[in-house]
Amino acid sequence: MPVPMPDINLIALLPEILILLVAMGVLLLTAWSRETTQPLLGLVAMAGVALAGGILLIQTGMTTTTFGGLFVLDPFASAMKLLMLVATLLPLLMSWDYLARHRLDIGEYFVLTLFALLGGMLMASSGDFITLYLGLELMSLSIYVLAAFNRDDPKSNEAGLKYFVLGSMASGLLLYGISLIYGGAGGTGFAAVAQAMGEGGGHAPGIGLRLGVVLVLAGMAFKIAAAPFHMWAPDVYQGAPTSVTAFMAAMPKIAGFAAIYRVLLEPFGPMQSQWGPILQFLAVASLAVGALAAIAQTNIKRMLAYSSIGHVGYALIGLASGTELGFRSVLIYLAIYIFMNLGTFALILVVNNAGVGDEINDYRGLAKKRPLLAFLMAIFMFAMAGIPPLAGFIGKFYVFMAAVKAGMIGLAVTGVLFSAVGAYYYLRVVQRMYFEEAETAFRMEVGLLSRLVIAVSTLAVLYWGLLPGGLIDWAEASIRPLL
Amino acid sequence: MIPVADIVFYLLAAVLVIAALRVVTTRNPVHSALFLVLTFFTAAGLFVLLRAEFLAAILVMVYMGAVAVLFLFVVMMLDVDFAELRRGALSHLPVGLAVGGVILVELIIVALAQHSAGPVTEPAVAVPNTLAIGRVLYTTYLLPFEIASLVLLVAMIGAIVLTLRKRPDVRKQVISHQLARTRDQAVELKKVASGEGA
Amino acid sequence: MAEFLEYMHGMGTDLLGPVWPLAWTVIKIAVLLAPVMFCVTYLTLAERRIIGFMQIRIGPNRVGPFGLLQPIADAVKLFVKETLIPEKADKVVFLLAPIITLGAALTAWAVIPFSPELILADINVGLLYVLAISSLGVYGLLMSGWASNSRYAFLGSLRSAAQMVSYEVSMGFTLIPVIMLSGSLSLKDVVAAQSGMWFVIPLFPMFVIYFISVVAETNRAPFDLPEAEAELVSGFATEYSAMSYGMFFLGEYANMLLVSTLGVLMFLGGWLPPVSWLGFIPGIIWFLIKLGVLLFAFLWIRATFPRYRYDQLMRLGWKVFLPFSLFWIFLTGTIIHLVGAV
């Protein structure tokens, strides 16, 4: 009884295939070329990402499944992939000088970045736990290596190893959960699992399935660095090369949220009463850790690690509300988060080129020497703190609104409180820049590509802060078909 | 009739559980790794009992034949003093026991719940399981199969990137150069008068 | 023969009742292993005589006619000597190591068919079983090297472990085209699939790589670096004496016999005659002739080639054999696809 071949529609996978081919091409070029062609490799990688973005834009609105339901293309997947491409392209652009300066611009850097992106894209499009897991593993493995990419720096090695060990453990939890779900539901396809979970008609399904849900969510919470699964984030963010940190703070988070969306809405859809409280707990814990622990930080990368934990907490509030508004608000939040975060990292990379360290104290007096850079940094800090005319406020506003509308007043109030606490440490950076004397001259070139990234991020943060309509419509169009 | 399969199962299971316990309780890291190998082996035996001989063979080949060998390799060479490491670990014991206990209780509940659900499906013996696995692996699960190959590729790239160093101060052996060397390049004849060669 | 077996079976069932199937299996194992061990012991004699002949020496010819009792004398000597255990050795692991080596070498024989009927356990993943079990032999060497608590032994065992793991890969890959052509992992089916043409003809390069790989896999010259006498004073076996050493020795030769047998089954048509009109000669004779040829090649190589250097060995395995056999798998697949189902 030969098994029939599943339907294969490679058109649906076109962006993924393109990324794969570019990654392989860069790999072969790396192997064949001498040192001289490195800029070419980076350009090829970026062109590939941009081209994949073009294909995605064409694909927007397409809905199809292929490989027998293992791969799903829908507006949500396209939207998430688009965000991921942006979150890959911008770090590549802005780390151009940094990589050259630290001699990290070898071909494998781009290859691994592309493979991480590919893994993330597969996660967003998965229609089965197996595809989801493998996509996750592809992404994580690439990023573990990237974190340790600066081999001569012990901190980078430590970051890679820590991330790898803890990440493997999280993968173990996830797999364990998936196998329990497989045992309870008799399949790994999202549709099959959703059916098995819905069988009780709203009643609690078997304990195996429930335990599976908990473990799967725990595994995913690790990947997006939600407390209490965040322990790795500060060390890894600090130790990894800054260009990798920028990438790591953006792309995997989108991918992780994409996967959580998929899992919550499709296979776990019937079990909202189960996962709702879990997400609420994760959200509150992340907010607390993000806000309180960040205060004590002196290293800006470490501070941003805690800040990203906090941002994950806000996004989780939206998911925990479980309403359409909530899901939409998370998408909005993520889109804004990427630009705020990448803008900040672009500035950090620029300042780093001046030979300054990553301590917050190293930014003292930046406003005196380079007023424009300091002003832009201040904009991003205000945006992250959620101060009104900037986009960060819009993100938080929608998330809190979703929570309130879902009747979770307490959750929203907690969010607002921690937001106020969080504002303190963002403003501390501004205070250092503006109200203290400079010790260094901050002599550095701001590369063209970095300028581009900073300009794009600033525009996004300003524009969406004032006119968020387009963003909101886009989020709605992406989420609606999923519900 | 003696229930041979049952006896073998309990024997293997007992060895497996004891070996697994010894992996964590034994003091010597090399013994620990060797018990791990024994654990794999008995697990493979259990696969055979389930008539999953392909999985059993692959488990032995991959995990015992390659993974555990490298593991043992490293453990033997590192000479880690595990007793030293463990001294601090004992303080984590209560937490570990608590977590382990919770998971165990949950597993028991799961096992009981599943047991009441009905008997395990009989294996389809009509097709050898190598063939059966091959058939779904290259059709239904083609996409995951390809992604898995990428995961392995990334692992390989990562291992090379993190370890391969081009060191300018070390002379590299190029075998073709060595082979292409002629006698004139290698040997120089010197006339040394007898008694003055020193 | 069949009647006798029937009779035995009936009598055994009467005598032992339910325990009989177990006892019957034990008898079968003994009947299988006795000739294997016989071959192994006489392989050592053959090696010494043949290499002696090649090097224009006489070789052992004192014990019995033509030295035919020499292996027995060796065995007696090994048995009566004292087994020395180094003071700082890890005793359990030290003694377990040779047992595992020999055990793995002998266990693999369970699925080897000598003729369509003569097979102990006819399982449908026979080939995988052989590969899996033979991959366990490396543990014996690793354990012996570590437990001896001696630098020479440890270096030897590290070398051998790396070498065996590396060459197992290329050995496994050379067998994949065979599986592709025969469409089965059962050794019996693989031989049956060669009734038209022995696989050595279409897959000749694979056969060559297979043979070189197994020479390395069994730690034989010119790849006998793990026990390189000159530099490592016998490597992993340095601290072993008497029967514990003897078991390593037996294990090595049993492995040699095993991989030769596997080569005969996979590439040389097993018990099939080269041309059909020679079919009147019993299959087992053909089998033994082919086995003899391969074993002779093992000895011939040892007498002919100097030892490889370790980095050369690794280079050959990973950079030459592995890509080439991968390419050949690809080629075989393409041809099978073009020609149609086999």
Rounded CA-CA distance C228/C307 in Å is: 9
Reported in sequence order, the residue ranges of C171-280 that DSSP labels E, i.e. its strands, are: none
Rounded CA-CA distance A209/A133 in Å is: 17
- Interface B-C: count of C-beta contacts within 8 A: 77
Check whether the bond before A228 is cis (ω within 30° of 0). yes
Residue B124, classed as helix, strand or coil, is coil
CA end-to-end span of chain A: 38
Among the partner residues C132, C143, C165, nearest to B60 by beta-carbon distance: C132
- Position C95 scores a pLDDT of 85
Q: Are residues C174 and C60 in the same domain?
A: no
Nearest to A314 by CA among A426, A411, A429, A406: A411
User: Can you tell me the mean pLDDT for C150-170?
Assistant: 84
pTM here? 0.87
User: Can you tell me the mean pLDDT for B170-178?
Assistant: 78
Average pLDDT over chain C reads: 83
CA distances from A145 to A124, B157, C242 (A): 22, 9, 50
Are B127 and A151 an interchain contact pair (Cβ–Cβ within 8 Å)?
Answer: no
- Position C251 scores a pLDDT of 86
Are B53 and C93 an interchain contact pair (Cβ–Cβ within 8 Å)?
Answer: no
Are C142 and B31 an interchain contact pair (Cβ–Cβ within 8 Å)?
Answer: no
The residues spanned by each domain of chain A are: 277-483
Q: Looking at the complex, report in whole angstroms how far the Cα of residue B118 sits from the nearest Cα belonging to chain A.
A: 12
Nearest to B140 by CA among C119, A374, A5: A5
Say what the alpha-carbon torsion angle A274, A275, A278, A283 is, to the nearest 10 degrees. -150
Helix axes A242-265, A232-239, angle to 10 degrees: 140
Structure tokens at A383: 């945006």
Burial A233-250 (b: 16+ CB within 10 A, else e): bbbbbbbbbbbbbbbbbb
**Residue C236 gets which letter from DSSP?**
G
**Residue A294 gets which letter from DSSP?**
H
Decide if A31 touches B, using CB distance below 8 A: no
Rounded CA-CA distance A2/A13 in Å is: 26
- Position A139 scores a pLDDT of 94
Give me the number of domains chain C comprises. 2
- Cα–Cα–Cα angle for C137, C139, C143, rounded to 5 degrees: 135
Domain boundary among C44, C79, C114: C79
Question: For residue C326, what pLDDT band results from cuts at 50, 70 and 90?
Answer: very high
Structure confidence by residue, pLDDT tens digits, B103-155: 677 667 656 655 444 444 555 556 677 888 888 888 888 899 999 999 999 99
The residues spanned by each domain of chain B are: 1-82, 123-165
Burial of A261: CB neighbours in 10 Å, binned 0-12, 13-18, 19+: buried
Are C125 and B130 an interchain contact pair (Cβ–Cβ within 8 Å)?
Answer: yes
Amino acid code (one letter) for B9 = F
Say what the alpha-carbon torsion angle A65, A71, A77, A82 is, to the nearest 10 degrees. -120
Q: Are C264 and C287 in contact (CB under 8 A)?
A: yes
Residues from chain A that touch B111, judged by Cβ atoms under 8 A, are none
Rounded CA-CA distance A259/A346 in Å is: 27
Q: Are residues C192 and C214 in the same domain?
A: yes
Q: What residue has token string 């052996």?
A: B173
Among the partner residues A128, A141, A211, nearest to B151 by beta-carbon distance: A141
Question: For residue C329, what pLDDT band results from cuts at 50, 70 and 90?
Answer: very high
Decide if B127 touches A, using CB distance below 8 A: yes
Decide if C25 touches B, using CB distance below 8 A: no
Structure confidence by residue, pLDDT tens digits, A338-381: 999 999 999 988 888 877 778 888 888 888 888 888 899 999 99
- Position C2 scores a pLDDT of 60
- Position A203 scores a pLDDT of 55
Q: Are A457 and A376 in contact (CB under 8 A)?
A: no
Could you list the residue range(s) of the whole structural domain that residue C5 is in? 1-79
Rounded CA-CA distance B156/B158 in Å is: 5
**Residue B60 gets which letter from DSSP?**
I
Residues from chain B that touch A128, judged by Cβ atoms under 8 A, are 144
Structure confidence by residue, pLDDT tens digits, A14-37: 999 999 999 999 999 888 876 656
- Backbone torsions φ then ψ of A189, nearest 5 degrees: -65, 145
Are B69 and C142 an interchain contact pair (Cβ–Cβ within 8 Å)?
Answer: yes
Residue A72, classed as helix, strand or coil, is strand
Residues from chain B that touch C93, judged by Cβ atoms under 8 A, are 30-31, 34
Nearest to C307 by CA among C226, C233, C242: C226
Rounded CA-CA distance A383/C26 in Å is: 79
Mutation target to probe the A interface, by most A beta carbons within 10 A, among B95, B106, B125, B150 is B150
User: Can you tell me the mean pLDDT for C85-104?
Assistant: 85
Question: For residue C209, what pLDDT band results from cuts at 50, 70 and 90?
Answer: very high
Rounded CA-CA distance A384/A303 in Å is: 12
Rounded CA-CA distance B61/B47 in Å is: 14
Domain boundary among C50, C79, C108: C79
Among the partner residues B28, B53, B69, nearest to C138 by beta-carbon distance: B69
Alpha-carbon dihedral sign for residues A389, A392, A396, A398? positive
Decide if C288 touches B, using CB distance below 8 A: no
Helix axes A371-385, A448-466, angle to 10 degrees: 40
Structure tokens at C265: 């089954």
Decide if C139 touches B, using CB distance below 8 A: yes
Decide if A112 touches B, using CB distance below 8 A: yes
Nearest to C256 by CA among C283, C216, C288, C313: C216
- Position B119 scores a pLDDT of 44
Rounded CA-CA distance A425/A432 in Å is: 11
Class of domain B1-82: mainly alpha
Domain boundary among C32, C59, C79: C79
Decide if B131 touches A, using CB distance below 8 A: no
Q: Which residue of B has its CA nearest to A119?
A: B147
Task: Pick out chain A residues at pLDDT < 50.
Answer: none
Among the partner residues A67, A106, A144, nearest to B142 by beta-carbon distance: A67
Q: Looking at the complex, report in whole angstroms how far the Cα of residue B60 sits from the nearest Cα belonging to chain A.
A: 21
Are C124 and B130 an interchain contact pair (Cβ–Cβ within 8 Å)?
Answer: yes
Q: What residue has token string 């890894």?
A: A236
User: Can you tell me the mean pLDDT for C292-305?
Assistant: 88
Rounded CA-CA distance A362/C174 in Å is: 60
Residues in contact with A423: Cβ distance below 8 Å, sequence separation at least 6, in sequence order: A385, A386, A387
Rounded CA-CA distance C272/C194 in Å is: 8
Residues in contact with A379: Cβ distance below 8 Å, sequence separation at least 6, in sequence order: A343, A390, A458, A461, A462
User: Can you tell me the mean pLDDT for C91-115?
Assistant: 86
Q: Looking at the complex, report in whole angstroms how far the Cα of residue C129 sits from the nearest Cα belonging to chain B.
A: 6
Are A131 and B110 an interchain contact pair (Cβ–Cβ within 8 Å)?
Answer: no
Residue B165, classed as helix, strand or coil, is coil
Rounded CA-CA distance B23/B37 in Å is: 9
Mutation target to probe the C interface, by most C beta carbons within 10 A, among B26, B36, B69 is B69
Alpha-carbon dihedral sign for residues A47, A223, A220, A399? negative
Rounded CA-CA distance C197/A471 in Å is: 69
Give the side-chain half-sphere CA count within 13 A for C298. 31
E strand or H helix at A66: strand A64-66
Burial B85-103 (b: 16+ CB within 10 A, else e): eeeeeeeeeeeeeeeeeee
The contact set of B with C (CB < 8 A) is: 1-2, 28, 30-31, 34, 37, 44, 53-54, 56-58, 60-61, 64-66, 69-70, 72-73, 76-77, 128, 130, 173, 175
E strand or H helix at C47: helix C20-54
Check whether the bond before A154 is cis (ω within 30° of 0). no
Residues in contact with C305: Cβ distance below 8 Å, sequence separation at least 6, in sequence order: C221, C222
- Position B106 scores a pLDDT of 64
Structure tokens at C151: 């630098």
Structure confidence by residue, pLDDT tens digits, B79-102: 666 666 666 666 666 777 776 777
Q: Are A318 and A355 in contact (CB under 8 A)?
A: no
Q: Residue C313: pLDDT above 80?
A: yes
